[in-house]
Amino acid sequence: MTLFLYSAAGDDGGRRAGRIDAASLDAAKFRLEQSGLRDIVFHTDEILPAQLRAEGMAPAEVSADAELAALTDPLHGFAFVRACYIGNWIAWVPPLAWALWNLAGGAPYSLVDQASFALAAIGLAFPAWAAVPSLAYQKLLDASAWARWDDVRRQCAFFRRWRRWFLAPTPRFDVDIRDATAVAAQGDLAAALASVAHYEATVAPRQVYLGRIASIHFAARDWTGALRCQEEAWRLSGGGMPETIDYAVTLVWRRRDADAAQRLLAGIAGRTRTALAQTFVDYAEGLIALERGHDDVAKDRFERAIEGQAAASNTPLTQMVCDFIAAHLVIASARLGEKRAARALLRSVLPRLTAFKDIDLARRCAAAVA
């Protein structure tokens, strides 16, 4: 059984978030519809618990509304630090009030007064200290999204020091995979794979491990290795939704095999999926249509995918995905005769393609708008 996060409309027409424990998304949707809810949107799938287990982490103990807000519109920078202070007020408000009371009494200050000042300082520092790993992780995601591999490695090294110095929980598996991805992108695929090989025996189910190993092959532009990992993950998952979509997108994008990708998508047709998964299905269908010369269909699917990505999540990685979808939208729009709009769109996504050195896609875009 898996706990799924959803949002849905009730009898009053208002939307609300909730969680439901079910064997699958299809079963969860059936039970929610039986309870009278409609316009049901799922925001987590079966793979999330496995990813949390890979990190040795438990699900967040927050309300469904708070979890949904964190997924769709996470806080960044000062807003996140402010939220840490608000959420941890019990750690600093009482000691600060006690210290201010003692301070108002005037000098001389007793040892008890001085202790209250020290306690207030510790209390005020605690939320900022607690925010450091999350802020560092945001920087890591941003560096990953722009292929700044030296920055990625620096942030990964910081996480390891933080874990060692403070014995604090950090996303060890994710950090190590991102560090290996940077190593692979810088030209040493063998060393990258060797650095995370020990996770093969500890991360379960195996398709979670294989999915992340595929990302290392992608960074090295080793499409054959990436496809090998994705095919095995798809087979082990029994045609699971995330594994099928990932495999289909790679087949049609990197191998230009629209027929194989279409057969994969046919295997998940009609199944309930998360809002984010639907955006990748739209992307895959757009790529298939593009390969077959159905440019109007491709344009529609790419636009839907970008809109869905923006609605489902707001992170640096989401923005990266949107830029790659938009690059394919450039091709479809240009083929439909909308070259002025296509050129403007290409200018906006070219920095991303340049950062990732995706010369093949950049050339396809340039040829389309010429």
Q: What pLDDT is recorded for position 298?
A: 98
**What order of strands is seen across the sheet that includes strand 15-22?**
15-22, 2-9, 38-42
Q: What pLDDT is recorded for position 230?
A: 98
Beta bridge pairs of residue 41? 7
Cα–Cα distance, 155 to 157 (Å, whole number): 5
Q: Can you read off the two tokens belonging to residue 34?
A: 């039986």
Q: What pLDDT is recorded for position 254?
A: 96
Q: What pLDDT is recorded for position 120?
A: 76
Q: What pLDDT is recorded for position 362?
A: 97
Q: Is 161 in a helix, a strand, or coil?
A: helix
Across 81-91, b (16+ Cβ under 10 Å) vs e yields beebbeebeeb
Cis peptide bond N-terminal to 171, omega within 30: no
Q: What pLDDT is recorded for position 347?
A: 97
Q: What pLDDT is recorded for position 235?
A: 97
Q: Do 10 and 16 form a contact (C-beta atoms < 8 A)?
A: yes
**What is the identity of the amino acid at 157?**
A
- DSSP letters, 42-63, are E---THHHHHHHHTT-PPP-S-
H or E segment and range at residue 336: none
Q: What pLDDT is recorded for position 246?
A: 97
Q: What pLDDT is recorded for position 128?
A: 67
Q: What pLDDT is recorded for position 127?
A: 67
Q: Do 26 and 272 form a contact (C-beta atoms < 8 A)?
A: yes
Cα–Cα distance, 87 to 357 (Å, whole number): 42
Which residue ranges in the chain fall short of pLDDT 70? 55-61, 72-89, 91-92, 125-130, 167-169
Q: Which of 303, 282, 291 is nearest to 335 (CA)?
A: 291
CATH topology of domain 250-370: 1.25.40
Cα–Cα distance, 287 to 298 (Å, whole number): 7
Q: Give the Cα-Cα-Cα angle 308, 314, 317 (nearest 5 degrees).
A: 95
Tokens 């080793």 map to which residue?
222
Q: How many CA atoms lie within 13 A of 113 on its CB side?
A: 11
The pTM of this model reads 0.85
Q: Do 320 and 145 form a contact (C-beta atoms < 8 A)?
A: yes
